[in-house]
Every structure is written in structure tokens, then in C-alpha cells.
């Protein structure tokens, strides 16, 4: 387990294009943190630049809205080296994005103590146990529903772990 000691002041949620999983996770996490009374800066980004400037995928917006999450005003951006200084914790939606984030972090010449901690989004979740949040982009409606279910569960697991410290 990565962090049990205290609640981070800032979290960046990362997937590939920042149009499906990570913007959904951003809003879910924002709402759950507010309900829990936690003050955390929350943002999202993608490791790829393929959707920079785009709003979230229409299917993600539709499914998120049906669960009470509005993500239509979010805009995709790519992860930058600055993010490793600006955020305490960066959570990747899957192991490939985690590896890509680690490669970016390894290329930064500062001491690693000053840079964000990295983890899989589901790392604290006893239900999903560090498994990847699957990318629904090429999938069907059920895939988007599964993503929301996993994101809600894992966000709550992180919050519960911080409340326990």
C-alpha cells in the first residue's frame, strides 16, 4: 500500500487520452472528497496528446451524468513534468499509464522526494485490488458503466484509507 499516513493536498488522475476514465474520476473524486469533508486539489490529464483541448467523450459524459456527475466542462490536457511538482499524488488508471508516468518522473532531474508519489488508482481498493480500470473508449455502454462503478469504489477506498489515519 502506498499511503496510509495522511490525506494528500493534491491529486492528479491520469489515463491515456483524458477523455473517458480520468475526467470521470476527477469529478467522482471531487464529489466524494467534498462529502467526506476533505480539501484536496483534484485534476486530471492524459499521457497522450491525442485529445488535448477536447471535452470528455460524449458517452462518458452521458454515463457520468446519469450517475450525477457533470464532466462536460472539463478539457483534456497532457501530463507535464510540472505536474510532478504541483501534485502530491498521481494516480494512474492502468499499469501502462503508470509505467509511462514513471518514465516521465525518472527523466526529471530533481530528487524524487520533491516529486509526486505514483500509484494505481485501484491500489487501495479491496474490491479491485490494484487491477486496471479498463479503457471503455472502444467498448459498449456496459463498459462505461463498469468504469463508473470501479472509479466510485476506488475513490471511496482512498478516502476511507485517509480518514483512518
- The CA dihedral of 110, 121, 46, 19, to the nearest 10 degrees, is -160
Q: Which three cell numbers stand for residue 3?
A: 499511503
Q: Are 109 and 136 in contact (CB under 8 A)?
A: no
Q: Which three cell numbers stand for residue 5?
A: 499516513
**Catalytic-residue membership of 49:** no
Q: What are phi and psi of 146, to 5 degrees?
A: -60, -40
**Catalytic-residue membership of 21:** yes
Q: Which three cell numbers stand for residue 151?
A: 472509479
Q: Catalytic residue among 15, 30, 83, 100, which?
A: 15
Q: Give, for 161, the enclosing helix (H) or strand (E).
A: helix 141-163
Q: Catalytic residue among 94, 100, 125, 135, which?
A: 135
Q: Catalytic residue among 20, 21, 43, 132, which?
A: 21
Q: Are 157 and 125 in contact (CB under 8 A)?
A: yes
Q: Give, for 145, the enclosing helix (H) or strand (E).
A: helix 141-163
Q: Is the dihedral of CA 2, 161, 151, 128 positive or negative?
A: positive
Q: Which residues are catalytic?
A: 15, 21, 135
Amino acid at each position: 500500500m502506498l499511503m496510509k499516513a495522511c490525506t494528500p493536498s493534491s491529486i492528479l488522475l491520469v489515463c491515456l487520452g483524458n477523455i473517458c476514465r480520468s475526467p470521470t474520476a476527477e469529478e467522482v473524486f471531487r464529489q466524494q472528497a467534498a462529502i467526506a469533508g476533505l480539501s484536496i486539489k483534484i485534476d486530471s490529464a492524459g499521457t497522450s496528446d491525442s485529445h488535448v483541448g477536447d471535452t470528455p467523450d460524449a458517452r462518458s459524459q452521458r454515463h457520468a451524468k446519469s450517475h450525477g456527475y457533470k464532466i462536460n466542462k472539463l478539457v483534456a490536457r497532457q501530463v507535464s513534468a510540472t505536474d510532478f511538482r504541483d501534485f502530491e499524488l498521481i494516480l494512474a488508471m492502468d499499469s501502462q499509464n503508470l509505467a509511462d508516468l514513471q518514465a516521465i518522473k525518472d527523466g526529471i532531474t530533481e530528487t524524487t522526494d520533491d516529486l509526486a508519489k505514483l500509484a494505481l488508482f485501484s491500489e487501495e481498493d479491496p474490491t479491485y485490488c490494484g487491477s486496471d480500470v479498463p479503457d471503455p473508449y472502444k467498448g459498449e455502454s456496459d463498459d462505461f458503466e463498469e468504469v463508473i462503478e470501479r472509479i466510485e469504489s476506488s475513490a471511496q477506498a482512498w478516502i476511507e484509507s485517509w480518514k483512518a489515519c
